[in-house]
Structure 1
C-alpha cells in the first residue's frame, strides 16, 4: 500500500523537495497544503496527480507529515491545522529551524518526530541535510524520512539533537556565507577597475570552480588552499590580509555563533 504523505508549506525548501520527489511519484500519495502556491508547485502537483489544498472535510491523517513552514508560523498552524493530520502512527518530519522535537510532539500530540535541516543547494540535488530522530521513531519510519530527504543531496545523521543548532548555523545558513564571499570578491574587483559584469563573472565562476575542484578531488580545503598559495606570492599576501588578527576565521565563528543564538531564540 502506498504511503500517504502531507507537505505543509511549499516555499523554497518545500518546493525543492517536491521537485526531488517527482521521480518517486508512483511510490506514495501526496497532499500539499500551501495557501500561496507558486506556478511551479501547482504544475508539479498537477503533473504527478497529487492533491493541492483539499477541502477540510476531505483531509485525513497521514503516514508522514512534512513541516516546511516558517518556525514563526508553527504555534498557530500546529494547533489549528496540522494537528488534525497526525495520528498515533504518523511520522512528523520537520525542516523548521529552531523548534525541537519535544515541542513539535507536544503541539501536534505526535509520537514519532524527526527533525532535519537541509540547505538551499538541495534545490539542485547538491545540498546536505542533517537529521536527528527521537528514540521512539521506528526504523521503518526513519528509512522513509531518509528516502524523502535524499533527493536534496547528502544526508547525515546526528548523534544528538543538541547538534541541530550548530548544523543550522554551519550548513543551513552556510550557503549565504559563500554567496556573500562571492559578492565581496566581485565588489573588490569592481573597485579595482574591472567592469561590474566581468568582476561578477570572474568571482562567481571562481567560487563554482573551487567548490567543484574540492568535490572532484576529495582533498580537504586546507590542502587545496596551500597548493594554490606560493610562498611570498600574491595569494599569500591576500590570505595574510584575510586572516590578520583573526580576520575571516574570527568573523565566520562570530557568524555561526549569531546563527546558533537566533536558532535557539526561535525554539523558545
Structure 2
C-alpha cells in the first residue's frame, strides 16, 4: 500500500524534504501539503504536482495519512499542532522537525497514545547532504520508525538516539554547525584580505577550501585528525598556524564554550 504523507509547512526544510521524497520515488499524488498562502500553494501544485489544503480541516480524515510531518517554525506550533490531534486515532505517526519541541509537548497536545518521532535536521539538507538525528516515544512502532527514517534519509545521513536529552546537544552541534563552518570561511577570507590578497580572490580561496576540505573528509572516511596531520609538515607553514589555533586558548576551548552555550539555550527554549 502506498505511503500517504501530510506535510504541514513547506519552508526551506519542508521544501528540502518534499524535493527529496519525490527524488526518492514517492508519488506526488500521495503527498498533501498544508499551506494557507494561496500563492505558495499554487506554486507547490505547479512545481511538484502535489495536493494542497489551506488547513487541516479541509483534509478528508478518511484518507488516513501514514505520516504527518510538522515542518513549521516552533514559535507557531502551539497554534498549529492541536488541529492534528484528531488524526491520532488513525494509526498515524507524527514526525516533527521543529527545534525545541519535546516529545512530551506533543503527547500533551496530540494525546498520550500518539506515536511521535522528534528529529533535528540541518540546512545542508537543501543539497541532500544533511545529518538528521531523531528519537521516538514508546508508542512509535518499528514499522513507523523505519518509515520515518526512510523519509529523513532523502535529505542526507540519519542517526537515532535513545536519549532525548541528546537532541539539545545535536541542535547545538549539527543544527548550528553549518553556521560555524560558514564563519570559518568568513574568517579565512578576512585573514587573506588582511594579509594582502584581493577581496574576491580571498573569498574564492576560502569558499573552495572549506567546501573541498569537507568533501575530502566525507569521501575519505578518515578521522579529521589524520587528515589534518596529512596536511601538516613538521616545521612548515601549516604547523606554525596550527601552533596558534591549537593553543590552550585556541579553537577547542572556544568551540567547547560555544556548544555548551547553544545547548543550554536549546534546553531553555524547550521549557
What is the TM-score with the length of structure 1 in the denominator? 0.91
Counterpart of 2:129 in structure 1 is 126
Q: Distance in 2 between matches of 1:266 and 1:218?
A: 35
Distance verdict in 2 for CA 1:8–1:27, change over 3 Å: closer
**Aligned with 2:89: secondary structure?**
coil
Q: Distance in 1 between matches of 2:159 and 2:55?
A: 37
Q: Distance in 1 between matches of 2:60 and 2:244?
A: 60
Matched, 1:92 2:94: yes
Q: Distance in 1 between matches of 2:56 and 2:12?
A: 25
Q: What's the CA shift for 1:42?
A: 5.0
**Aligned with 2:68: secondary structure?**
strand
Q: Distance in 2 between matches of 1:213 and 1:228?
A: 12
Counterpart of 1:32 in structure 2 is 33
**Aligned with 2:185: secondary structure?**
helix
Distance verdict in 2 for CA 1:76–1:56, change over 3 Å: closer
Q: Distance in 2 between matches of 1:55 and 1:96?
A: 19
Counterpart of 1:146 in structure 2 is 149
Aligned length: 266
Counterpart of 2:11 in structure 1 is 11
Counterpart of 1:136 in structure 2 is 139
Q: What's the CA shift for 1:68?
A: 0.8
**Aligned with 1:232: secondary structure?**
coil
Q: Which stretches in structure 1 are left out of the alignment for 5+ residues?
A: none
Distance verdict in 2 for CA 1:36–1:249, change over 3 Å: farther
Distance verdict in 2 for CA 1:171–1:235, change over 3 Å: same
| Contact 1:10 1:34 (8 Å CA) reproduced | yes
Q: Distance in 1 between matches of 2:55 and 2:241?
A: 60
Counterpart of 2:20 in structure 1 is 20
| Contact 1:60 1:84 (8 Å CA) reproduced | no
Q: Distance in 1 between matches of 2:262 and 2:38?
A: 28
Q: What's the CA shift for 1:158?
A: 1.0
Matched, 1:255 2:258: yes
CA RMSD for the aligned pairs?
2.1
What is the TM-score with the length of structure 2 in the denominator? 0.90
Q: Distance in 1 between matches of 2:263 and 2:35?
A: 28
Counterpart of 2:84 in structure 1 is 82
Q: What does residue range 222-233 of structure 1 map to in structure 2 within 5 Å? A: 222-233=225-236
| Contact 1:169 1:260 (8 Å CA) reproduced | yes
Q: Distance in 1 between matches of 2:189 and 2:70?
A: 37
Distance verdict in 2 for CA 1:239–1:138, change over 3 Å: same
Q: What's the CA shift for 1:6?
A: 1.2
Distance verdict in 2 for CA 1:220–1:202, change over 3 Å: same
Q: Distance in 1 between matches of 2:91 and 2:74?
A: 23
Q: Distance in 2 between matches of 1:216 and 1:256?
A: 26
